[in-house]
């Protein structure tokens, strides 16, 4: 059987499977492009608020606002559209697609990305929900709760446990390890698709990190960090502690390792090892897809040591949960 079309995406709870299923329908039934599959698949997750960590109403920042990061990359042209710190527009990956299709730019950020989106016909609305406000209020009540996104106490007159200035990377790593990735905190959708013509695209969408400092942008919209695609080789997409991941461009590295002849699994493992050499407590995962349809997933430090992901190809015939 032909090794494509194929779609692979991070995580596997219902919304993530529905996202993979939608992308598969676009590829298989509608004979759509890889770019359309990635956009429409990730949009499903945004609308279903996958695990509370994709789309509106999740991961309130320190002031209670939800902001979104997303990107989409065309492996043929190496053109990318991305939005970071997007405010007030729920359709992050579709706005990223407009950046790709209708601008000469790669990334738009914050309020100005909102203005662009409105110009493109998107409707501005609050991204807060009762649930996200409740999460924020609970955290606000006790500002000394863990918030490893900043390295100083939110209130310098209070001493908040480990949240003092840190002077070396090992302390930072130890602090990070006390914060587990869980289904409420860290679940970006990252997706790679190859369409029936063999063309490759990749993308991501997330509401980032809970209680982040306003303005924080994660790895997800950063080319080579959150995702990467190159028609000559394949693609990769990441999920996990984005503040650390973006320092290593793991998606880019995985693609480069495949270019040099590594298998998808070897390439992903090399990219993860590059991170864990400096941050042994790093938590994250990647999906990797080669241009011939061979795929792998890799992970490090996840609770239970397992990373569930979603795959659809001509063997599985529908979006199927896999584990690594």
Of 5 and 235, CB closest to ligand SD4 = 235
Identify the residue among 203, 242, 250, 264 touching ligand SD4 (CB under 6 A): 242
Output Rg (C-alpha) for the chain, integer angstroms.
19
DSSP-assigned beta bridge partners for residue 109: 84
Q: Which stretch binds ligand SD4 (CB under 6 A): 42-50, 84-92, 234-242, 296-304?
A: 234-242
How far, in Å, CA of 309 to CA of 300, rounded? 14
Q: Is 84 in the site for ligand SD4 (CB under 6 A)?
A: no
**How are beta strands 68-74 and 200-206 bridged, if at all?**
antiparallel
- Specify the residue, 82 or 199, whose C-beta has the smaller distance to ligand SD4: 82
- 301 belongs to an annotated ligand binding site: no
In angstroms, give the least distance from the CB of 172 to ligand SD4. 15
Kindly determine how many residues on this chain lie close enough to bind ligand SD4 according to the rule CB under 6 A: 13
Please say which residue, 27 or 38, places its beta carbon nearer to ligand SD4.
38
Q: How would you classify the pairing of strands 80-86 and 68-74?
A: antiparallel
Residues 6 or more apart from 34 whose CB is under 8 A from it?
5, 27, 75, 193, 194, 195, 199, 200, 201
Q: Is 204 a catalytic residue?
A: no
Q: Which DSSP symbol is given to 243?
A: H
Segment 51-80, which members bind ligand SD4 (CB under 6 A)? Answer: 53
Q: List the interface residues with ligand SD4, window 168-227 (CB under 6 A).
A: 186-188, 206, 208-209, 218-220
Residue 77 burial (CB < 10 Å; 0-12/13-18/19+)?
Answer: exposed
- By DSSP bridging, strand 227-230 and strand 200-206 are unpaired
- To the question of whether residue 7 is assigned a binding role by annotation, the answer is no
Catalytic member of 10, 53, 67, 188: 188
219 appears as a binding residue in the annotation: yes
What are 297's strand-pairing partners? 287
Nearer to ligand SD4, 187 or 195 (CB): 187
Q: Is the dihedral of CA 216, 209, 273, 264 positive or negative?
A: negative
Annotated binding site for substrate: 216-219, 239-242
Give contact residues for ligand SD4 (rule: CB under 6 A): 53, 186-188, 206, 208-209, 218-220, 239-240, 242
Active site residues: 188
């Amino acid at each position: 059987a032909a090794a494509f079309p194929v779609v692979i995406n991070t995580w596997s709870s219902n919304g993530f499977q529905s996202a993979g299923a939608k992308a598969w329908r676009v590829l298989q039934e509608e004979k759509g492009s890889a770019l359309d599959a990635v956009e429409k698949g990730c949009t499903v997750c945004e609308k279903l608020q996958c695990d509370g960590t994709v789309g509106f109403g999740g991961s309130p920042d320190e002031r209670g606002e939800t902001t979104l990061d997303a990107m989409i990359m065309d492996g043929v042209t190496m053109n990318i559209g991305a939005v970071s710190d997007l405010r007030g527009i729920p359709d992050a990956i579709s706005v990223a697609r407009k950046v790709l299709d209708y601008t000469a730019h790669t990334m738009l950020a914050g309020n100005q990305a909102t203005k662009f989106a409105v110009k493109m016909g998107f409707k501005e609305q609050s991204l807060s929900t009762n649930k996200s406000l409740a999460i924020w209020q609970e955290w606000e009540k006790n500002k000394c709760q863990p918030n490893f996104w900043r390295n100083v106490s939110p209130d310098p007159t209070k001493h908040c446990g480990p949240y003092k200035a840190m002077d070396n990377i090992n302390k930072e790593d130890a602090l990070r390890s006390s914060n587990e990735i869980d289904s409420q905190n860290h679940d970006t959708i990252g997706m790679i698709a190859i369409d029936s013509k063999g063309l490759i695209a990749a993308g991501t969408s997330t509401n980032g990190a809970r209680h982040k400092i306003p303005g924080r942008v994660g790895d997800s919209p950063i080319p080579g960090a959150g995702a990467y695609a190159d028609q000559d080789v394949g693609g990769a997409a990441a999920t996990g502690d984005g503040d650390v991941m973006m320092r290593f461009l793991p998606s880019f590295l995985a693609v480069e390792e495949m270019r040099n002849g590594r298998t998808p699994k070897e390439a992903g493992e090399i990219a993860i090892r590059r991170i864990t050499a400096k941050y042994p407590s790093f938590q994250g995962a990647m999906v990797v897809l080669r241009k011939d349809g061979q795929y792998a997933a890799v992970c490090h430090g996840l609770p239970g040591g397992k990373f569930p992901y979603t795959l659809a190809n001509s063997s599985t015939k529908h979006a199927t949960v896999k584990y690594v």
